[in-house]
């Protein structure tokens, strides 16, 4: 391996834990993302208050009823993805982690997702799952960006690699059981992610993960988006349908178009 010592350490941490968290090297892009989400949220709600973004986002549950949350979230997801700069800034926020872990020729999910999880709200839960269980490529990673500080049940859980191997070896035992049965069996082994605004999480989506009812006093806001190496195998989510190349290099552009002279059509 010709990795630098820093890249080698990062690689080993990711393989051991199934995730890495680092402060973003591009604070300007991260602030652009949060400010854009904040501004668009206030526009949708016709809110003219002058509250600071961090406080306003944490307390959104005091303003939008649970019954209106999903409609608000869907409208906001559409609005933020209308801005072509969103995905550019998203990549820049995570680039320092993506390059050594995934590579520098990347395909990126065509739409960024947004999660808003109120305190004590069971309507926004994501049961334990691994993306590959439903057809995603095992070569994908998730970049998860919090817009507020996330901790305990205000965050997400992840089953570490060794425990995931054990679960896979016992998978037949859960054939006639529910996602909740799997979670209860491994609840004590789950890793709860603690991450502050200003940091970025990159995790292995082959590992079981999800969230629970948020028992904290603040609302969680987080963005997530998948990345993979352009030339790695695809699952059900195809290039051009779900993923788009974003950093294809010259040699790859030449190679995929090349036809050997005299070759049969």
Domains of the chain (ranges; CATH) run 5-257 (2.60.120.620)
Distance CA 197, CA 199 (A): 5
How many other CB atoms are found less than 10 A from the CB of residue 164?
A: 20
**Closest to 224 in 3D by CA, of 172, 135, 147, 124:** 147
Q: Which tokens go with 82?
A: 């209308």
Cα(first)–Cα(last) distance of the chain, in Å? Answer: 39
Backbone angles phi, psi at 199, to 5 degrees: -110, 165
Name the β-bridge partners of 129: 209
**Closest to 93 in 3D by CA, of 7, 20, 10, 33:** 33
Query: pTM of the entire structure?
Result: 0.94
Distance CA 98, CA 143 (A): 9
3 state DSSP class of 88 = helix
Query: Tens-of-pLDDT digits for all 265 residues of the chain?
Result: 799 999 999 999 999 999 999 999 999 999 999 999 999 999 999 999 989 999 999 999 999 999 999 999 999 999 999 999 999 999 999 999 999 999 999 999 999 999 999 999 998 899 999 999 999 999 999 999 999 999 999 999 999 999 999 999 999 999 999 999 999 999 999 999 999 999 999 999 999 999 999 999 999 999 999 999 999 999 999 999 999 999 999 999 999 999 989 876 6
* R_g of the chain, CA atoms, integer Å: 20
């Amino acid at each position: 391996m010709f990795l630098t010592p820093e890249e080698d350490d990062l690689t080993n941490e990711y393989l051991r834990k199934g995730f890495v968290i680092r402060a973003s090297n591009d604070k300007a892009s991260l602030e652009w993302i949060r400010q854009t989400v904040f501004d668009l949220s206030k526009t949708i709600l016709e809110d003219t208050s002058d509250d600071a973004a961090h406080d306003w986002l944490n307390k959104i549950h005091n303003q939008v009823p649970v019954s209106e949350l999903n409609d608000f979230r869907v409208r906001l997801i559409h609005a933020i993805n209308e801005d072509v700069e969103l995905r550019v800034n998203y990549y820049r926020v995570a680039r320092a982690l993506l390059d050594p872990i995934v590579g520098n020729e990347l395909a990126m999910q065509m739409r960024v997702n947004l999660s808003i999880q109120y305190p004590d709200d069971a309507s926004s839960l994501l049961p334990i799952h691994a993306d590959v269980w439903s057809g995603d490529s095992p070569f994908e990673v998730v970049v998860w960006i919090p817009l507020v500080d996330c901790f305990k049940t205000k965050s997400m859980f992840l089953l570490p690699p060794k425990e995931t191997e054990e679960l896979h070896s016992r998978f037949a035992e859960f054939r006639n059981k529910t996602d909740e049965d799997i979670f209860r069996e491994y609840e004590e082994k789950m890793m709860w992610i603690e991450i502050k605004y200003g940091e970025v999480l990159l995790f292995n989506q082959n590992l079981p993960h999800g969230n629970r009812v948020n028992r904290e006093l603040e609302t969680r806001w987080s963005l997530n988006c998948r990345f993979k190496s352009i030339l790695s195998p695809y699952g059900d989510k195809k290039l051009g349908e779900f993923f788009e190349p974003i950093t294809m290099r010259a040699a790859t552009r030449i190679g995929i178009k090349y036809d050997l002279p005299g070759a049969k059509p």
